[in-house]
């Protein structure tokens, strides 16, 4: 198995013992992103701004891997308050077009750095990309 580690300065640096993403063949596993601004490593404020920052971070890592959000086949969303589920759906429509990826939305007690949202993803990048 040939693994390639993906890193980009356009997404926050890892704050733990993990890579931003790992590519194995045409599959890319994106680590969880929280709403850290990659330039300042400060958290976005407010749920909508946090969610947008998370999508932007995922987008940057996907592009560094040679793909895009259109290549996402599975998206996991972790929320500290499931009342924000509707907002996530609205914002997700800005970043994804049909056919949408498979998805899970999971309520959790807490996330790193007191974030309200975290997401990870799996991409499948077709041959030639």
CATH number at residue 92: 3.30.1330.40
In a domain, 129, yes or no: no
Structural domains of the chain, count: 1
Q: List the end-to-end C-alpha distance of the chain, in Å, as a whole number.
A: 19
The CA distance from 73 to 57, in Å, is: 17
User: What does the pLDDT look like over 91-121, one tens digit per residue?
Assistant: 999 999 999 999 999 999 999 999 999 999 9
What does pTM read for this prediction? 0.95
In a domain, 66, yes or no: yes
- Tokens representing 73 are 């086949």
The residue segments making up the domain with residue 61 are 3-121
In a domain, 127, yes or no: no
In a domain, 128, yes or no: no
User: What does the pLDDT look like over 7-37, one tens digit per residue?
Assistant: 999 999 998 999 999 999 999 999 999 999 9
In the Cβ-directed half-sphere of 87, how many Cα atoms lie within 13 Å?
Answer: 15
In a domain, 51, yes or no: yes
């Amino acid at each position: 198995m040939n693994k390639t580690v993906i890193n980009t300065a356009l997404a926050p640096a890892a704050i733990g013992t993990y890579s931003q993403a790992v590519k194995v063949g045409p599959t890319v596993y994106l680590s969880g992103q929280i709403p850290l601004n990659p330039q300042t490593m400060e958290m976005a404020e407010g749920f909508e701004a946090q969610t947008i920052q998370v999508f932007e971070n995922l987008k940057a890592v996907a592009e560094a891997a040679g793909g895009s959000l259109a290549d996402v086949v599975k998206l996991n969303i972790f929320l500290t308050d499931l009342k924000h589920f509707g907002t996530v759906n609205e914002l997700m429509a800005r970043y994804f077009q049909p056919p949408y990826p498979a998805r899970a939305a999971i309520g959790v007690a807490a996330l790193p750095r007191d974030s309200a949202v975290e997401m990870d993803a799996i991409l499948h990048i077709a041959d030639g990309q």
